[in-house]
């Protein structure tokens, strides 16, 4: 048998990042830069006003106070976007708006609040320093300097600096094309009626949601019968374009109903492995086809699928997309113990709360069966129980792999604490 860590290592050893693509900025959000980006321009591009006010030469209003104001003739208005090449005239002012270019020779802006606001002859009641209320050209970013380095994830602020610098395209990786295939004679797509003995496919929609939430482009390649020929043909078709293929079902023992395992055994670098984990023991992974596309063949039970995604597929997707990744776990106190099989790393569905000291606390939710999607949907996370532990005692500590965004979990816990006044064991 293979440990979780060994299997993950074997998977990651076979993965290299997909080549970077040139992406328009409008589609770059969420991707990771493949190379440094330098700014072709200064930012700000030109000296401009930080305030609505009057552009002046500071020394021409030196010593001015409310008691000893100075009146300057106003040469005109400069709104934002004004493209005229304007210059200062001695002992004059321009009325200027926020973001408008400061005229050549003017070196400060007096805020409108420190004047009488007159459009033709302005009375100024306060002196300013050179540079006051002026955003200098290049004070933020110098032309030719690196604004974002390779490996940076492009979030909203990074989009803003790229747009400001006029960078319309970037070389980036990150949005992978993920194909999800569900296998099983019993499966019917949701929205279609199920006959006797049939069930709706839930792994397909769940895997698509997981891949999309991880920032990728996921499509459902279809529902395949337990038929070796059909499965082979469909997988081969997707090897031509996918960055990653994920199948579910059909891998337990390799008998006549485990068509995925039968058909892929010996193909490419495919290996079928029994991993010391619960749930999710039967795992398959390998590179297939001329493009050496990574293929995960996950077990069929929905809880096993989710656990396998979190433990193996998510880190593999990150590696493939050239992203840095580390699973985040939360330390928690066990409020209500449970047992764990000998020699297998267990991923136990739990709900989170807080104990009286404010630390995270967990209790099991739903039953242990890996077909129980109702309970799965109520879980905040998976408690990770090491292989050697068989009894997870009340009061002991576990690490929890969150299944929902941390901010959302925190908000729920805070709301609960407000409602109950404590938060401990009040949930559910
Ligand atoms: P298998 O590994 O194909 O024997 O599947 C194990 C269990 O998972 C069976 O109860 C299947 O019906 C169920 N299963 C397999 N694929 C799916 C799916 N896509 N959606 C929901 N349940 C599934
Ligand atoms: Mg099956």
Res. 222 pLDDT band, cuts 50 70 90: confident
Q: State the ligand closest to the CA atom of 182.
A: 1
Domain limits of the chain? 21-43+140-173, 48-135, 175-320, 330-427
CA of 271 to the centre of ligand 1 (A): 20
Q: Which residues line ligand 1 (CB under 6 A)?
A: 182, 184, 186-187, 199, 201-204, 248-252, 299-302, 371
Write phi, then psi, for 272 (nearest 5 degrees): -105, 125
CATH number of 48-135: 2.170.190.11
Q: State the ligand closest to the CA atom of 190.
A: 1
What would the pLDDT profile of 347-376 be if each residue is shown by its tens digit? 999 999 999 899 999 999 998 899 999 999
Res. 89 pLDDT band, cuts 50 70 90: very high
What would the pLDDT profile of 259-308 be if each residue is shown by its tens digit? 999 999 999 999 999 999 999 999 999 999 999 999 999 999 999 999 99
Q: Pocket of ligand 1, candidates 248, 261, 281: which has the most ligand atoms within 8 Å of its Cβ, to mutate? A: 248
* CATH 3.40.980.10 is the classification of domain 175-320: yes
Res. 256 pLDDT band, cuts 50 70 90: confident
Specify the pLDDT at position 414.
92
Q: Pocket of ligand 1, candidates 185, 207, 210, 249: which has the most ligand atoms within 8 Å of its Cβ, to mutate? A: 249
Answer yes or no: are the C-beta atoms of 417 and 425 closer than 8 Å: no
Of 295, 283, 284, 204, nearest to 243 by C-alpha is 295
CA of 198 to the centre of ligand 1 (A): 11
CA of 242 to the centre of ligand 1 (A): 23
DSSP state letter for 45: S
CA of 188 to the centre of ligand 1 (A): 11
Task: Give every strand in the sheet of 282-288, ordered side by side.
Answer: 217-224, 177-183, 244-248, 293-298, 282-288, 271-274
Res. 419 pLDDT band, cuts 50 70 90: confident
Q: How far apart are CA 82 and CA 99, in angstroms?
A: 10
Specify the pLDDT at position 174.
87
Q: Compute the mean pLDDT over every residue in the chain, rounded to the nearest whole number.
A: 95
- Ligand 1 atom with the smallest distance to the CA of 282 is 2
Whether 423 has a pLDDT exceeding 50, the answer reads no
Q: How far is CA 191 from CA 149, 163, 320, in A?
A: 46, 42, 33
CATH number of 330-427: 2.40.340.10
* CATH 3.90.105.10 is the classification of domain 21-43+140-173: yes
| CA-nearest residue, atom 15 of ligand 1 | 300
Please state, for a pLDDT cut of 90, what percent of the chain lies above it. 92
Whether 409 has a pLDDT exceeding 90, the answer reads yes
């Amino acid at each position: 048998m293979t440990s979780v860590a060994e299997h993950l290592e074997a998977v990651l050893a076979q993965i290299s990042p997909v080549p970077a693509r040139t992406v328009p900025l409008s589609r770059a959000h969420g991707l990771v830069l493949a190379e440094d980006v330098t700014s072709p321009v200064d930012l700000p591009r030109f000296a401009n006003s930080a305030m609505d006010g009057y552009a002046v030469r500071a020394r021409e209003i030196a010593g001015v106070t409310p008691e000893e104001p100075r009146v300057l003739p106003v040469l005109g208005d400069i709104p934002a976007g004004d493209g005229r090449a304007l210059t200062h005239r001695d002992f004059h002012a321009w009325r200027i708006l926020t973001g408008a270019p400061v005229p050549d020779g003017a070196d400060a802006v007096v805020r409108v609040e420190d004047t009488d606001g007159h459009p033709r002859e302005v009375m100024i009641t306060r002196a300013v320093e050179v540079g006051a209320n002026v955003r200098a050209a290049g004070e933020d970013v110098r032309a030719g300097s690196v604004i974002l380095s390779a490996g940076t994830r492009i979030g909203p602020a990074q989009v803003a600096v790229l747009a400001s610098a006029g960078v319309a395209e970037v070389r980036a990786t990150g949005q992978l094309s993920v194909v999800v295939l569900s296998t099983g004679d019993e499966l019917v797509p949701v929205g279609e009626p199920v006959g006797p003995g049939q069930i709706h496919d839930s792994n397909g929609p769940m895997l698509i949601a997981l891949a999309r939430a991880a920032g990728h482009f996921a499509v459902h390649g279809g529902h395949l019968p337990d038929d070796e020929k059909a499965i082979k043909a469909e997988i081969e078709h997707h090897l031509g374009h996918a960055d990653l293929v994920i199948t579910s079902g059909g891998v337990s023992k390799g008998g006549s109903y485990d068509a995925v395992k039968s058909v892929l055994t010996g193909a490419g670098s495919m290996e079928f492995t029994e991993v010391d984990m619960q749930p999710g023991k039967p795992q398959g992974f390998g590179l297939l086809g001329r493009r050496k596309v990574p293929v995960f063949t996950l077990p069929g039970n929905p809880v096993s699928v989710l656990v396998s995604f979190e433990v193996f597929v998510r880190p593999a997707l990150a590696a493939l997309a050239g992203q840095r990744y580390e699973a985040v776990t939360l330390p928690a106190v066990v409020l209500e113990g449970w047992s764990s099989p000998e020699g297998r790393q267990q991923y136990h569905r739990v709900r989170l709360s807080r104990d009286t000291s404010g630390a995270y606390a967990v209790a099991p939710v739903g039953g242990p069966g890996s077909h129980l999607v109702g309970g799965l949907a109520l879980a905040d996370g998976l408690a990770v129980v090491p292989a050697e532990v068989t009894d997870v005692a009340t009061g002991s500590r576990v690490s929890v792999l969150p299944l929902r965004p941390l901010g959302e979990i925190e908000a729920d816990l805070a709301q609960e604490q407000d409602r109950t006044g404590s938060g401990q064991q009040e949930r559910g």
